[in-house]
Structure 1
Amino acid sequence: MGCLGNIIWFIFGGFVSGLSWALAGCLWCISIVGVPIGIQCFKFAGLSFFPFGKEIHYGGGAGSLLLNILWILITGIPLAIVSASFGVILCITIIGIPFGLQHFKIAKLALMPFGATIE
């Protein structure tokens, strides 16, 4: 399911989702202070292009908490709303449920990206 799911995902929404993360990374990289945040966005763009077969583990410390708060206020909420909206739309049909769940996984990541690791 992983390979086939990733191919179908990329064609029917993964490209747009990954592109939104890449755009956020480009916008963050405009300033020197935002470069670490932009690099993190590019890592998660790769996950957003092909999410099947990958797990996200959350952790981190005080630094991650502060960056997550800054992230939520500036970029996280719009990315999470878009992913959650697509997830709800896809979960309406039985066939779209696995893809909707991947959107929910990415929406949660959009709210707390720092301190998260992808395996």
Structure 2
Amino acid sequence: MSPLNLLLNVLWVIFGGIWMAAGWLLAAVIMVLTIVGIPWAAAAVRIAWYTLLPFGQQAVRRDEHRGREDIGTGLLGTIGNIIWFVFAGIWLAIGHLITAVGLAITIIGIPFAWAHLKLAGLALWPIGMEIVPNDEIERRRAFGRP
């Protein structure tokens, strides 16, 4: 992680990133309690970690990153995303949007507001996405792979 990304992540946690990560973890716990929500819970925990430290990483489509489809990027992934959207996605997205508006009021909060907007989009449709370090994405692009 670059020094700039480290600084941004530390500021992110101090200025409220921890609360949205806690929201993702709460969603994961609720999903585990339902038993049928365990597959969504695993994704929510991964995204909670990304929400805690978003700078230096990106959420990318798994089929584009790996070059092949899997169960989460096909029809079952779409059905899973619709279920996720109804039960958890809309609420997490609203939380990210409210936080983004509050941060955008200040000049220094604009990069953090932008990160919350990206996370709000991810909250709506997370299945089939993968969290990848920026340097891995750059390395793949340098070698001509998606």
TM-score interval for Structure 1 and Structure 2 normalised by the shorter chain? over 0.9
In the other structure, the counterpart of 1:36 is 39
Name the SS for the 1:93 alignment partner: coil
Counterpart check, 1:104 vs 2:107: no
In the TM superposition, what are the counterparts of 1:39-58 in structure 2 within 5 Å? Answer: 39-58=42-61
In the other structure, the counterpart of 1:72 is 85
Counterpart check, 1:26 vs 2:29: yes
In the other structure, the counterpart of 2:19 is 16
1:56-105 Cα shifts (integer Å, max 9, x gaps): 11352211110010011111111101101111221222211110011011
CA shift, 1:33, in A, is 1.3
CA distance in 1, matches of 2:35, 2:94: 27
> Alignment identity in percent?
39
CA shift, 1:16, in A, is 0.3
Which structure 1 segments of 5+ residues have no match? none
In the other structure, the counterpart of 1:2 is 5
CA shift, 1:6, in A, is 0.3
CA distance in 1, matches of 2:12, 2:128: 26
Q: TM-score, normalised by structure 2?
A: 0.78
CA shift, 1:31, in A, is 2.4
Larger-gyration structure (1/2) = 2
In the other structure, the counterpart of 2:142 is none
For these two proteins, the number of residue pairs brought into alignment is 119
Letter in 2 for 1:73: V
CA distance in 2, matches of 1:66, 1:73: 11
Name the SS for the 2:60 alignment partner: strand
Which structure 2 segments of 5+ residues have no match? 64-72, 133-146
CA distance in 1, matches of 2:94, 2:30: 19
Following superposition, which runs of at least 4 residues in structure 1 exceed 6 angstroms of deviation?
A: none
CA distance in 1, matches of 2:15, 2:21: 12
